[in-house]
Amino acid sequence: MTILASSASPTSSSGSILRSSSSTMNQGGGGTTAAVARIQPTQPVFVPHLHHPQQQMASYTAVQIPCCLCGTMIWPNAANKCSACLASQLDVASIVQRGPGGGDIVVYQCRQCRRYQRFDGSNNKNASYQAMEPESPELLALCLKHIPAVSTSSSSSNNHQFSASFSSTLSSSSSSMPKFHIVDAHWIWTEPHSMRFKVHLTVRYSIEQVPVQQRVSVELKNQWKQCPDCNREFTNRTWHAVVQLRQTPPAACSNNSNNNNSNNSNGGSGSKRGLAALEMAIAQQATIRKHVLKIDATKNGFDFYFLDLAQAQAFGSYLQRLHPMRAMKSSSKLVSTDVKNNTANLRHTLQCDLVPLCRDDLVLVNKRVMGGAQKLAGRLALVDKVSSVLTLLDASPSVVAVHAGSSSSATPTTTLLLKDCIMELSAENYYRNEKHIRWLQSSDRLTRFVVLDVELLQTTIRGKESGIAPEEGGVPSSSSSSLYQGPQSGLSKYALAEVVVVRESDFGTDPNAETITVVTHLGHLLQAGDIALGYDLARTVGGDWELDSRSLHNHFVVPDVVLVKKETNKKKNKNSVDDDDNDNNNRQDLVSNKKKKKGSKHMTKKREKRKLRKEGKKMRALEESAARMGFIEGGGAANVLPTPDEEDDDDEEEGDDDDDAASKQDNNKNNNRDFEDELWNDPEMAEELKQLEQALEAAAVGPSSSRDKNNDNTSASETTTTTTTTRTTTTRPAEVQQPPLKSEPETKADEVPSDD
Amino acid sequence: MATRCSFENSNEVGVFASLTNAYCLTGIGGSENFYSIFEAELSEHIPVIHATIGGNRFVGRTVAGNRRGLLVPNTATDLELQHLRNSLPDAVVVQRIEERLSALGNVIAANDYVALVHPDTDRETEDVVADVLGVEVFRQTVGGHALVGSYSKFTNQGGMVHPRTSLEDIEELSSLLQVPLVAGTVNRGSDVLGGGMVVNDFAAFCGLDTTGTEISVIESIFKLQTQQQQAGQQQQQGLVAGMRASLIDQL
């Protein structure tokens, strides 16, 4: 008795819906050409009213009904209309196509840089521009954002605008605008020059409580609009602020006009270091110079051009952090005014003056200086470091000065603290005392000195105030500061010491060269035999420095020499090109990484000496054991002298092969100088030498004067740690000992330095 | 012949009118337009009567009846009852029943031979219905809906149920009622058939919104068409072709 409500079978219904809808659809079909709506799902199953308990377990097959409008067989839904009839009730295409404000939907692009303007809601003033490929996903997202009907975020004003225009076109049944959800979107190709984008959307909405999904295509217009970056490029006269960075050479030290010129010329070279440092810092950081439009270089500095004052001020404050400079002076110039709008067009200038001092400069601190500079008042000072603050060191620290300057110490002490000799000046301090700090000399006037002796001064024994402060000597130790200061070696960079130096030009040539005793902060860095660079104040020509009581303290003794730094070997090797000798020695040094026989006089002298001593010890130990074992016929105490002879011969031979006559002479001179140094350092050696000489004269056997001399030299080097007693029999044991020791001199020949 | 009409701009004709083979009741409206439509169609065959039940004009949903009787709820006043007794032909028995579910038009659906009642009605009501209307009473829901009078409409010729009724239910009901049934809508896709239209064996009235498709379905299932129309429609659609087959009683 099956009485079916409909003849069509359920399975083919979905197909039949589409086909029949396309054939019978006649309402509003013209507008949506490709609109085929689908109602989901295809095979509904009804949930029964759980009213009658007997009916719960039965299975239910749905029946189809004719659509009440068009008569096609459909599955029942909330509206009991087929999808086409439902879709035709709403003109989706015209709704979606509508732009904000009722017009077209527009996407803006910059003609110059071809970037697209990003969507930012109602306010389009500060929109950013982004480069996008045509028919790319980013561009698709941008287009979807522009469509008000499907946009997720919408300001209330937009909604009102939109819904007001929309509701007028709506059919009477649904009074509220349905919400469109995007299911799918893809591009429809358009000719690029048509300036149109076509997007094919699949939207889902619900009408009469029935969800409907529909495909619709939207057309967006592409219009040109200049982006702000291109706008800025195109207009002339765009900069509104400039930062003028200057570092003038420091003023002359004396009032004498004659000397001014000479001093000015001298000061010019050293004063550009601050600019160079800043230039490097700016070049490394791209973020800092992001807003700089242009950079000009002038005689004493740079000009940086910016678009507005805020950017210029940010740049200026960054520079202030890097290098001490005067407070930025700002001035502005009126370009034009707009009386009606009460606005003005200004151009601003920020003046940044760097502190003219640079590292290793010598300055004179007037005794009338105030504030934080009290420590070094009335003294000469050395500029140690120019970073965010200016660090000055006392040029010649002395005990008297310390407790005269420091007001805190009540009881006179004889200790000299390094921390009392260091003063840090911030930029404002410096400029407050600017006229009291007078530049004297810059580092291009450094002269070379040879260090003869270094004696560390006794600083306080207690606690950490001696030279065991971390990093900079004299800075209070970590007990007072809470910041982590890193691992500490226990040895500070600077230590006060009394150093005896002699001018390098005088050294060796003038036996009566004056040796100068200097108290300096380089105690840890200098050793006897080093070359130190410093200011030779005694021999400086040029002006009075107001050495009278006007600027310096009465008790301040102007030092003859102010040591600044030690000369390092690396620089010396790199810089010396003229000497073949040096080149050879460079090569040898690179290869063997050991001491050289001749040439570079200052190459690891200490190391050479130490090694020599060690070798000598070894040799002597070997000889002794050999003697004990009876290898050596001579017996008795092992002699040191023969071996130097052998080495000497070898040395001389090799030396002759390698060197020119000139360099040989040079070497001799070097030898002499070194020898003299040694003599100075070691009076015991001098004694031994004397004995040797006497012995030699007494022996008066064979060896030539040169040999004697060489003997003396080498023996001098060898006998520094010798423990042998007799030196009388020199030659014979040498010959006897020759064979067994032949190997040794050869090996030693490599090692024995040519410092002699 | 299906006629479109409206009661004071409302398409729910079945709310304000009740139609059987022997009489027709209409609610009292502001104008007599509604009444005159019925009168024009029906007055030469059956009496068309103004009525209110309990002062309310939605008489279609409060009363239920067939050609043998009329049942009114306890909300009907004596005066109204008297008026009905006076107006209706003597063959029609008017009976007031005490029932908790007093909207008898929603609760009872009946033709001249068979009736469906809401499953929750009292036993006495069921007995009274069987007695007064002279019908066989079945307690049944229609496709999950208990308000049988609202979601189904049937006459002696055929019947219609709401669209969500499953196939099995339709078969079952059809076997109970012994009439062909179809799932359909009225008034532009509305599920509520009882409120949307009134039907008897020779006339049908539905709301103004009813589409042509729905009209054709109504006319075909309730057999209201003339022979000519029937022939024409038979050619067009196979919609109710299955119902042309003779009833096969399978119990």
DSSP string for A258-272: HHHHHHHHHHHHHTT
State residue A498's pLDDT score: 86
pLDDT digits (tens, 9 = 90+) for A510-550: 777 788 888 888 888 888 888 888 888 887 775 555 555 56
Taking the C-alpha atoms of residue B19 and residue B41, their distance in angstroms, rounded to an integer, is 12
Report pTM.
0.46
Taking the C-alpha atoms of residue A408 and residue A169, their distance in angstroms, rounded to an integer, is 92
Q: Name the percent of chain A lying above pLDDT 90.
A: 13
Comparing A46-50, A58-62, B160-164, the range with the smallest average pLDDT is: A46-50
Nearest-CA residue of chain B relative to A82?
B189
Q: Name the percent of chain A lying above pLDDT 70.
A: 57
CB-nearest partner of A66 from B164, B213, B247: B213
Residues in chain B: 251
Interface contact B169-A6, CB threshold 8 A: no
* ipTM, two decimals: 0.80
Task: Give A166 to chain B, closest Cα distance, Å.
Answer: 25
In this structure, what token pair is assigned to residue A406?
């420091």
> Which residues of chain B does A46 touch, with a Cβ-Cβ cutoff of 8 Å?
143-144, 164, 166
CB-nearest partner of B119 from A51, A68, A70: A51
Taking the C-alpha atoms of residue B140 and residue A52, their distance in angstroms, rounded to an integer, is 8
Taking the C-alpha atoms of residue A572 and residue A594, their distance in angstroms, rounded to an integer, is 17
- pLDDT category of residue A486 using cuts at 50, 70 and 90: low
Task: Give B184 to chain A, closest Cα distance, Å.
Answer: 6
The answer to whether A459 touches A522, Cβ cutoff 8 Å, is no
> Which residues of chain B does A82 touch, with a Cβ-Cβ cutoff of 8 Å?
none
Token pair 């810092």: residue:
A281
State residue A168's pLDDT score: 47
The answer to whether A441 touches A266, Cβ cutoff 8 Å, is yes
Q: A382 pairs with which residues across the strands? A: A362, A393
Residue A17 has pLDDT above 60, yes or no: no
Comparing A248-257, A333-342, A425-434, B211-220, the range with the smallest average pLDDT is: A248-257
Taking the C-alpha atoms of residue A107 and residue A225, their distance in angstroms, rounded to an integer, is 9
Name A364's Cβ contacts closer than 8 Å, sequence gap at least 6: A253, A380, A381, A437, A438, A439, A440, A545, A546, A551, A552
Of A212, A181, A219, nearest in space to A90 by CA: A212
Vertex A746: Cα angle to A744 and A750 (nearest 5):
110
Look at residue A516 and give its three-state secondary structure.
strand
Vertex A391: Cα angle to A387 and A395 (nearest 5):
140
Residue A415 has pLDDT above 60, yes or no: no
- Cα dist from A377 to A76, A355, A370, A495, A521, whole Å: 103, 19, 8, 21, 18
Burial of A104 (0-12, 13-18, 19+ CB in 10 A): middle
Interface contact B171-A2, CB threshold 8 A: yes
**Mutation for A interface: B166, B178, B215, most A CBs within 10 A:** B166
- pLDDT category of residue A122 using cuts at 50, 70 and 90: low
- pLDDT category of residue A426 using cuts at 50, 70 and 90: confident
**Mutation for B interface: A20, A60, A65, A85, most B CBs within 10 A:** A65
In this structure, what token pair is assigned to residue A721?
């740690």
State residue B221's pLDDT score: 93
Residue type, A62: A
pLDDT digits (tens, 9 = 90+) for A196-228: 999 999 999 888 888 888 899 999 999 999 888
Taking the C-alpha atoms of residue A80 and residue A64, their distance in angstroms, rounded to an integer, is 10
A589-618: b (≥16 Cβ within 10 Å) or e = beeeeebbbbbbbbbbbeebbebbeebbee
CB-nearest partner of A3 from B181, B189, B212: B181
CB-nearest partner of B183 from A59, A63, A69: A63
State residue B147's pLDDT score: 94
**Mutation for B interface: A69, A75, A80, A173, most B CBs within 10 A:** A80
State residue B170's pLDDT score: 94
Between these two residues, A339 and A39, which has the higher pLDDT value?
A: A339
> Which residues of chain A does B163 touch, with a Cβ-Cβ cutoff of 8 Å?
63, 65, 76, 80
Q: Provide Rg for chain A, Cα atoms.
A: 47
State residue A684's pLDDT score: 77
pLDDT digits (tens, 9 = 90+) for B44-85: 999 999 999 999 999 999 999 999 999 999 999 999 999 999
Taking the C-alpha atoms of residue A360 and residue A564, their distance in angstroms, rounded to an integer, is 6
Interface contact A48-B217, CB threshold 8 A: no
Interface contact A51-B211, CB threshold 8 A: no
pLDDT digits (tens, 9 = 90+) for B213-240: 999 999 999 999 877 776 776 666 555 5
pLDDT digits (tens, 9 = 90+) for A660-672: 444 555 556 666 7
Q: A184 pairs with which residues across the strands? A: A202
State residue A139's pLDDT score: 93
DSSP string for A570-630: HHHHHH--S-HHHHHHHHHHHHH-S--SSS-TTSSHHHHHHHHHHHHHHHHHHHHHHHHHT
Q: What is the mean pLDDT of residues A633-659?
A: 44
